[in-house]
Amino acid sequence: MKILFFGDIVGKISRSAISKVLPELKKKHQPDLILANAENLAHGKGVTEKTLQEMMEAGISAFTSGNHFYKKEDLSGKKFPLVRPANYPVGVPGREYLKIEITPRQARGKIKNVYIFNFMGRVFIREDFDCPFRKFDELYKLLKIKKNDILIIDFHAEATSEKNAFGFYADGRASVVLGTHTHIPTADEKILPNGTGYITDVGMVGPADSVLGVKKEIIIETFLTQMNKAHDIPEKGEVVVNAVLVNIDNKTGRCNDIKRVSKNILIK
C-alpha cells in the first residue's frame, strides 16, 4: 500500500498549491491513500468546514491535526475524516482515531484496515497533555489492532528527542510514525529495527519566502522587539510542498520504504 502524507498545510496559498500539484503527484506515485496535517488550513491556525471540504475535493482522504485544530470552528459534530491529538484531556471534542477500510491496488481485492492516530508531544509545548506514550498503548489495546493492520501515526511535537523516542516506542506496532509541527523537513527518513517507518518531521506545505509559513517581516520584528504581532500568511508567491511517500507491506503491516517528496509551486 502506498500512502502519500503532506506536512502541515498553511493557509489559502498552500491550499491552492495542493490543488495545483496533487494531480501530478497522484499520476506519478499512484498512492492508495492521501493524508495531510490540517491544523493550519484556515489562514495558518485552525480548521474550518470550508477549508476541509476544499482539500477533500482536491483529493485528500483524511486529516490529522495538532495544537491549533480547535482555533476556528468546532467540527466535532460533523462527519469529517479529521482526527485530533488523542492525548488531549478527557472530554475534549473530536475523534481520537480514524479507521478506514480500503483495498490497495496490489492487495488482490482484499480489504485492509487502516488506523490513523495523532498525538501531541509535551516538551517545549504544553506539559498538561496526557502522556502520548501511554495513550498510544491504551488505544492500541482498546482497538485490538493486529500486527498486519496498517497503523499511521502523526506525532505532532517540537522536540526531536521526543519524536525519536516515540518512534522507537511504537516500532513494530505502528506501520509508520510521521513527525509534524516544526514545518521544517528533516533528512532522517528510515525504517526502524522492527519495521516501522519513521521521519522526525515531514515539513510543511507553505510559502517558501516565509518563516514557517508566516510573513517573514512579522516574525523578524517579533524577535527584535519581543512584542507579539498577529500572524499573516503571504497570498502569492512560491510554495514549498513537503510530503512523504510510504510503502507498506499489505501482508505484514510493516514499512518497506519511506522517502521524502518535495516540490515548489508558484501561486500567482
Q: Choose among 89, 153, 92: nearest CA to 119.
A: 153
Indicate which residue of 43, 68, 156, 181 is catalytic. Answer: 68
68: annotated active-site residue: yes
> Residue 156 belongs to what H/E stretch?
strand 150-156
CA atoms 201, 202, 204, 210: torsion sign: positive
The three cell numbers locating residue 99: 479507521
Distance CA 26, CA 95 (A): 28
H helix count then E strand count, the chain: 5, 15
The three cell numbers locating residue 185: 523537513
Tell me the Cα Rg of the chain: 18
Inter-residue contact 207 to 234 (CB < 8 Å): yes
Q: Which residues are catalytic?
A: 68
